[in-house]
Amino acid sequence: MAKLDRETLMVKFREAFLGSKRGGAFILAQELVSRGIIPAMWYTGIEVQNHDINQKFDAFIFDLLHLRQWHCLHAKAVRYNRYKTMLTGSETAFHREAEYTFYQGKRPVWKLVGSLSLTEAQQWEC
């Protein structure tokens, strides 16, 4: 993957994401995050409203991966321990808390954003 250029990597991510290849999309998302490419750029040309529940959850996870990597100190501004754990906890705790917090897609996005105390700039990145 290190040999792939940015655009190729994002195309492969979109193909995996839209093709419901969740494992592949996760691995590609980790690479995109490590390169500092913000999640908002990954979905260019993808219709957001038509995602199924798994795609919505995966997008949430990918946003959190970005926040964990590039905004881990933001955890100090987060009011709720469950949300802090998603930014600073172990990999296992991260996934457990993210799944609980996502609540099968029933929790409104604005609630997630508010509970994470995201700044406007962070919201634009994700």
- The answer to whether 33 and 6 are in contact (CB under 8 A) is no
Could you tell me if residue 59 is inside a domain? yes
Q: What is the domain extent for residue 87?
A: 6-125
1 domain-assigned: no
DSSP 74: G
Classify residue 56: in a domain, yes or no.
Answer: yes
Residue 30 contacts residue 65 (beta carbons within 8 Å): yes
46: Cα within 13 Å, side-chain hemisphere = 22
pTM of the entire structure?
Answer: 0.92
Total domains in the chain come to 1
Tokens matching residue 111: 């609630």
Output the six-digit token pair for 78.
């987060």
- The reply to whether 21 falls in a domain is yes
pLDDT digits (tens, 9 = 90+) for 24-76: 999 999 999 999 999 999 988 888 778 999 999 999 999 999 999 999 999 99
